[in-house]
Structure 1
């Protein structure tokens, strides 16, 4: 087994929709030294054939069962959000490691079940949270860990992206059973980053509605957040920005420093100021900013590389496990439950939306 893990990872890909464009780049250009895509499948054979051709001619198979039969080391699940749990469960029960696009599941109990299966079988169940790998975000995390902010005062995220009506006219986007709205589909990365940097959440109060687009869930949401450490937070997210994606930012204010990352994918350090300057602080924006071609950013490759490295070393404690991903999912459910009852909800009460994933 150790010899096998020293070899290249054999990767299966399930789903070749919108986000798969980023995976084409990753497996074609970034991970060629350690990974081979050995099989690809999608309900639309044209999409799977296009994906396979673009990364060098990987075999196309008929369905998930056929993909599992090729016995890859890891399977990347890029299907609709509402199918992540079902597909990940099937892969884990077949004894295969899994990397799941966000969110790992739409229901907390489903995330817990996936975690239990992976733990019992000694398998990897990793969730994609690629923005944690942006150099700008890594800088903020190191500043938090080093205490450079001092006492945290406020954190805020703003996601101003554009999705037109055609995006919501497909069979799953914007629907409670399969997706949710802007918070669960677009801003989930940013609320994950807010919690990752600010610490556990005490309570939330949120509002959301479909302002421009027609969908079951919300295209615009705002929220107030109370952190356990006493800091306050705000969330402002929309897919009704026109005519394009133009901002995805996060700011932190402490009693010793303030920082803000922005750009299309929280990829640019826009502000860094400290009451106790260190050598190199003036160079922080230039050193830790990264230009990105799309709102997906460039973190998928580094993240998947770390997961593969864990597998090669016989480890299952991946950077963002299903247990870690569940924290953002619990935050998301609290936001949606607050919308449903029209008031504050406490995270200790383990609130769950009565609509998301049902």
Structure 2
């Protein structure tokens, strides 16, 4: 089946618009340039004639109102990027905007808010990360073949004379937003960041040394990354011998590129460290590979459209955060205005390939223990990031059908190396959602999802699917090694009765370079005015089906994995129903055959401790300390019920379960 033909439009017909039009034409039948908007009628006509554009409009609003567009390219001066992108998103059209995405933090916040509201992405042109050599470098780094990154150099040394700045909007804060830091070097250090991940600390100086501008014409920075890597970044428009240069010094090789406005494989050099000459075989240049440029990025965006995936370099993932960091941490002549501290970013694509290390606390303070960061998508979810890996996403206001008993959930979950550690809404049990606090038998109400077990009738769909309703995210605390947040909820029956209030606290902590821990603390108060008994399908008559509580559903590839406790190991059919303080699941991943370990620990003060466990491995991967497995627990009217759990997630196998349990137990006691 041929790829669909997408319809593109360009707003603005300045110099960079020609690059976009040429790139669209280079993609042949995949995309058609159907419209252009330009204030200058003569220039618009010339542009339309040159690129055979059938429809010309005097402004973006008119274009968006009259055309069916799949992607609009914003190629206008920087001060118009935010309003034009917002207009396109509100019209339901994805946006590809030239750099910089926006001029201020407040503009960036506005764009992110509209993106969250509409679900329409705004993408930034960062074409250098799509070249074949950059893709190869990131792949080798993820594989571990190059060792750790240690040092990097990023230089954009260009020359722009005074005539260049005669264009009214150039070199001004209000129109361009900055000098070479925002408008020239941005592509080089985007490529730097695409390899090394986000920086953790930046010290910088900037100056207006020569050119007739309001902004800087030179900036220099020293950056420290979360894993300890140090980098220098230099941006200049006063350098007669122009060059764009990046150098990465890894433990086992140096990789560098020198070009000007775009690179091919020939611009790159690979130098293995002494004794590691064989690594040169991994760097196989491809003379036929296309140069870095707009064509590759636009093609990648269309590929994402084809697959129904989120396109790369969206403001919610990479471009927006980087612009924030540039404003907040680089010393430019005029500090940027601070906007809201709302990042609104979903998880990023996982990384793979870190080397295995012990899962317990690292007494040497390994410098790869990067810092944690909380990002809040206001009104929807919280995400905890470990460098460029999103360890967890807590969705507190889900868009869930009533049949699935709407509830907050933790999904997706990833190991520190970026391997998936959860499954969301599998076809066999659509109410399974990563990790969730789910109770199938609350008197005769179902806060689990799906049908209810009725003895003698098996599972029956009743009008009893309750909702854990969001009230407030009460507190968010974050530092380098720990992120914690609290969430207030109400438990509402399908009939509209308010049965429980709940305050839960979720905390993520780093344990080692290979492991992290999640703690879940829930305190529920019975506000129904009557005693409420909590049980399971087993307490209602179904043998060995005592599920309910903090329930984890694992990746599909974990099927037939191994369950481990302090005293035994085996499949779910043998381990289910046993009483243990902790239990772990070791499962394997597709693609690289790696093994990950997910472990859950029951707090010693929990009711029914140590609990029976509901676990599966043969049919699918599931783990659940089930306090109500075979005995109902009654919460008196007005009384409280509290449960605390620790969860460890590690790049490790079953033999590491004991060490991981010790580490998680230590965090759970804090």
Instruction: State the partner residue of 1:107.
Output: 104
Partner of 1:233: 231
Q: Does the 8 Å contact 1:201/1:225 carry over to 2?
A: yes
Alignment of 1:259 onto 2:263: no
* Partner secondary structure for residue 177 of structure 1: helix
Question: CA 1:278–1:326 in 2, change beyond 3 Å: closer, same or farther?
Answer: farther
Q: For 2:117, which of 101, 111, 120 is the aligned residue? A: 120
TM norm structure 2? 0.46
Q: Which moved more, 1:11-20 or 1:140-149?
A: 140-149
CA distance in 2, matches of 1:116, 1:21: 31
How far apart are the structure 1 equivalents of 2:9 and 2:334? 39
CA contact (8 A) 2:218 2:236 kept: yes
Q: Is the 8 A contact 2:27 2:295 kept in 1?
A: yes
Please give the alpha-carbon distance, in whole angstroms, between the structure 2 residues aligned to 1:100 and 1:34. 20
C-alpha separation in 1, matches of 2:322 and 2:313: 11
TM norm structure 1: 0.84
Q: Which residue in 2 is equivalent to 1:356?
A: none
Partner residue of 2:57 out of 58, 61, 64: 61
User: Is the aligned partner of 1:174 residue 2:171?
Assistant: yes
Per the alignment, residue 17 of structure 1 pairs with 14
Q: State the alpha-carbon separation in 2 of the partners of residues 240 and 290 from structure 1.
A: 32
Task: Name 1:355's counterpart in structure 2.
Answer: none
1:318 deviation in Å? 0.6
Quote the offset at 1:58 in angstroms. Answer: 2.9
Q: Which has the higher contact order (CA 8 A, sep 6+)?
A: 1
Decide which of 180, 200, 203 is 1:202's aligned counterpart.
200
Deviation string for 1:8-49 (max 9, x for gaps)? 111111011121121132123x12221111111222223322
Equivalent of 2:36 in 10, 18, 40: 40
Cα 1:255–1:312, aligned 2, differ >3 Å: closer, same or farther?
A: closer
* Partner residue, 1:295: none
Question: How far apart, in 1, do the equivalents of 2:287 and 2:279 lie?
Answer: 15
Aligned partner of residue 196 in structure 1, secondary structure: helix
Match of residue 221 from structure 2: 223
Distance across 2 between alignment mates of 1:163 and 1:25: 25
Structure 1 residues 347 and 131, CA gap change in structure 2 (3 angstroms):
farther
Query: Is the aligned partner of 1:332 residue 2:326?
Result: yes
Q: In the alignment, is the contact (CA less than 8 A) between 1:137 and 1:266 conserved in 2?
A: no
Match of 2:447 in 1: none
Structure 2 unpaired stretches of 5+ = 336-370, 376-670
- Cα distance between partner residues in 1 of 2:255 and 2:181: 23
Q: Does 1:78 align with 2:75?
A: yes
Aligned counterparts of 2:23 and 2:108: Cα–Cα separation in 1: 26
Q: Which residue of 2 aligns with 1:272?
A: 271
1:319 aligned residue: 312
Give CA deviations for 1:200-221 in whole Å, capped at 9, x if unaligned: 2121111112222110111111
Residue by residue over 1:172-194, the C-alpha shift from the partner in whole angstroms, topping out at 9 and shown as x without a partner, is 11111221100100001112122
Question: What's the offset of the Cα at 1:79?
Answer: 0.9
Q: Residue in 2 aligned with 1:307? A: 301
Give the RMSD, CA atoms, in angstroms: 2.8
The number of equivalent residue pairs is 333
The 1:14/1:158 distance shift into structure 2, 3 A limit, reads same
Deviation at 1:338, TM superposition (A): 6.4
Q: Give the whole-Å Cα distance in 2 for the aligned partners of 1:278 and 1:289.
A: 24
Aligned counterparts of 1:322 and 1:112: Cα–Cα separation in 2 = 10
Indicate how the Cα distance of structure 1 residues 235 and 347 shifts in structure 2: closer, same or farther if over 3 A, else same. farther
Shift in Å at residue 280 of structure 1? 5.6
Paired with 1:254 and 1:283, the residues of 2 have a C-alpha distance of 14
Kept in 2, the 8 Å contact 1:136–1:288? The answer is no
CA distance in 2, matches of 1:124, 1:53: 30
Structure 1: how far apart are the matches of 2:101 and 2:225? 24
Once residues 126 and 291 of structure 1 are traced to their aligned partners in structure 2, the CA distance between those partners, rounded to angstroms, is 22
Equivalent residue, structure 2, for 1:136: 133
The whole-number CA distance in structure 1 between the counterparts of 2:203 and 2:248 is 20
Q: Secondary structure at the match of 1:321?
A: coil
Question: 2:239 matched to 1:250?
Answer: no
For residues 142-166 of structure 1, give each alpha carbon's deviation from its aligned partner in whole angstroms, at most 9, with x where no partner exists.
Answer: 2221223312211111111121112
Deviations 1:89-139, CA, capped at 9 Å, x for gaps: 011111212111122212233323323322332323211110001222222
Q: Is the 8 A contact 1:155 1:198 kept in 2?
A: no
Query: Is 2:245–2:256's contact at 8 Å kept on the other side of the alignment?
Result: yes
Q: Distance in 1 between matches of 2:331 and 2:288?
A: 36
| Bigger radius of gyration | 2
Aligned counterparts of 1:211 and 1:64: Cα–Cα separation in 2: 38
In 2: Cα distance, 1:192 partner to 1:209 partner: 22
